[in-house]
Amino acid sequence: TGARMADLSQQMADAASRDPELVTVMVGANDACRSSTRAMTPVAGFRADFEEALRTLRATAPKAQVYVASVPNLKRLWEQGRGNPLGKEVWKLGICPSMLGDADDLGEAAEHRRDQVEDRVVAYNKVLKEVCATDRRCRFDGNAVYDYRFDTDQLSHWDWFHPSRDGQARLASIAYRTVTAAGPVA
């Protein structure tokens, strides 16, 4: 639905009301996927909103386990999808314009814009790791989603942005490995 980190606190309240044993968090791509790099969620705000979301969960569900997936590598998404003419046409409808806009533009300004988005995603993942580490029942995936070397088979051929069925299965496998690991993932 385009949810961003600012929306997570309400989502956590909704989840907590169901007395969960495990809450899965995958948020952040929409904070970077904005109309421009200036419109991306600032890192400090991202951190504050994530801290607030965990506090919200803990107020009602203090024993719930939390799995936090890293933000996917959006630059890899652009690299993989830009070779597909249909995908590029779909992206023109406004899907993640900060990264995917003008997909064929390899000029300095476009590369700089994509690098800014990539840097922000890396910063978001650092926040997810650090904040999660302060909660003994929170487990971050160690950047496994970010590091996953997906290709176009893992992308939905409807929007060339969200995961396909195969992509969802890969994400589920990463989540399972992280949640069932003997200890936190590095």
| Whether 57 contacts 15, CB under 8 Å | yes
**pLDDT computed for residue 181 by the predictor:** 84
Sorted by where each begins, the domain ranges of the chain are 5-77+117-149+165-180
Instruction: Give mean pLDDT, residues 78-104.
Output: 93
* pLDDT tens per residue across span 93-103: 999 999 999 99
**pLDDT computed for residue 92 by the predictor:** 93
Q: Any idea which fold 5-77+117-149+165-180 has? A: Rossmann fold (3.40.50)
23: part of which helix (H) or strand (E)? strand 22-25
**pLDDT computed for residue 131 by the predictor:** 98
| Whether 68 contacts 130, CB under 8 Å | no
**pLDDT computed for residue 186 by the predictor:** 62
Q: Running DSSP on this structure, what letter comes out for residue 139? A: E
Instruction: Give mean pLDDT, residues 98-110.
Output: 96
pLDDT band for position 123 (cuts 50, 70, 90): very high
| Whether 120 contacts 48, CB under 8 Å | no
**pLDDT computed for residue 183 by the predictor:** 73
Q: Write phi, then psi, for 101 (nearest 5 degrees).
A: -60, 145
Residue 54 has pLDDT above 90, yes or no: yes
* pLDDT tens per residue across span 17-49: 999 999 999 999 999 999 999 999 999 999 999
Average pLDDT in the chain: 95
Half-sphere exposure at residue 122, Cβ-oriented, CA atoms within 13 angstroms = 8
pLDDT band for position 1 (cuts 50, 70, 90): low
Distance of CA 136 to the CA centre of its chain: 22
